[in-house]
Amino acid sequence: MYDCIQAIETISKTSIRFGLKSDQFIQVILELTENYKKGSASEREKVLLHCSSLDIWKRLLGISALISEKAMHTNNVKWIETALILHIIEDFRWDYRENIRYLVLTLYAANYIGVNFKKKLKELIPLGSEKTQKYLMDFLKRDKFINEISKFGLKISIYNGVPKFTPC
């Protein structure tokens, strides 16, 4: 069992270049997001402070995309929630436009499996910092047209019977 800090440390040291290959690594991600969700405000703040000491924002966003694909593979809402919590933990640290790029993938995956993205995100927004809450609420106000994955140069391709985000 990993606590949030141990999970962040493991994530920071694990390559995701070729996807989420290890069930153990996926379990680390799940434990991070589940423990973060259950944690107190002060525990969540410690996680955010620890993340700022590491340069893992790109990794958390990349994992959110891979987890969004997993949602489409498994038709399971827990992966949508996991991807969204990764955004909350990432805390819009670098450039909010990068988060939007990856949130669009999670939105697409949610729609693909029939999950009410807006409702799920609104449930999770209180877990975020004030800054993150603002950005997530702004994302919910965006026009559907600008949130299409094609606007970000992506499409869905089927490989070995499972959907994947690929360049157009």
Q: For the chain, state the CA radius of gyration.
A: 15
Query: Residue 1's pLDDT band (boundaries 50, 70, 90)?
Result: low
Cα dihedral 95, 101, 106, 111 sign:
positive
**What's the confidence (pLDDT) of residue 2?**
60
Give me the phi and psi of 141, to 5 degrees please. Answer: -90, -5
Q: For the chain, first and last CA: distance in Å?
A: 40
What does pTM read for this prediction? 0.94
Asked whether residue 146 carries a pLDDT value surpassing 70, the answer given is: yes
Per-residue pLDDT of 17-38, as tens digits, reads 777 777 888 999 999 999 999 9
**What's the confidence (pLDDT) of residue 14?**
83
Asked if 157 contacts 163 with a C-beta cutoff of 8 angstroms, the reply is yes
If one counts every other C-beta atom within 10 angstroms of the C-beta of residue 80, the result is 27
Residue 129: strand, helix, or coil: coil
Per-residue pLDDT of 79-127, as tens digits, reads 999 999 999 999 999 889 999 999 999 999 999 999 999 999 999 999 9
Report the pLDDT averaged over residues 62-80: 96
Could you give the CA distance from residue 93 to residue 34 in angstroms, rounded to a whole number?
Answer: 21
Could you give the CA distance from residue 126 to residue 17 in angstroms, rounded to a whole number?
Answer: 31
Per-residue pLDDT of 42-52, as tens digits, reads 999 999 988 88
Domain count, the chain: 1
Residue 104 domain boundaries? 4-167
Could you give the CA distance from residue 153 to residue 86 in angstroms, rounded to a whole number?
Answer: 23
